[in-house]
Amino acid sequence: MRFFADENVKAPIVQRLRSDGQDVFYVNDKENNLDEATKLKGREDSYQGKLATEQGRVVLTNDIHTFRHENFEKGQFLPNGIIGLRLNQVNPETQANRVSDYIKNTPPEKIQGHQTMIEPATERVKTMEQAQQNWEQTQTSNTQQTNIDIEIDR
């Protein structure tokens, strides 16, 4: 499979996936940051999401909520899928093993086109369509709450 690892993904995860034979584009790789014009590290998530989509890659990120929000807000719904890593409480080697094992043991059709949250002991999966619908509902709720707050302040 093809993956796009953003700058927040730890290098041992990328190294492990590559050693497993996965095709991983890593934002932190030196060749992706040679000069200011082509530098990817620090670029907005919506730019990186567009690049991942154009390349047919599943996004790997530690900040799924921000990454997803910045892309969905611009109408980019990450059709290839996104994997959020909630593994900060375990060491880097355990993180790499956890992600590698999940990808090895999950059929590609359950990864591509899905939003997955990988945690130390569990995974949560939904289709990108479900993720988009949940995000839209959240945005509607936030707008309604803002309108209520404005009326109360008057």
pLDDT at 116: 96
Q: Which distant-in-sequence residues (6+ apart) come within 8 Å of 88 by Cβ?
A: 62
pLDDT at 27: 92
Q: What strand order describes the sheet that includes 23-26?
A: 23-26, 2-5, 58-61, 82-85, 114-118, 123-127
pLDDT at 92: 93
Mean pLDDT split into 10-residue runs, the chain, 154 residues? 95 97 94 74 88 94 88 85 94 96 97 96 93 86 55 52
pLDDT at 153: 52
pLDDT at 7: 92
Number of domains composing the chain:
1
Domain region containing 53: 2-153
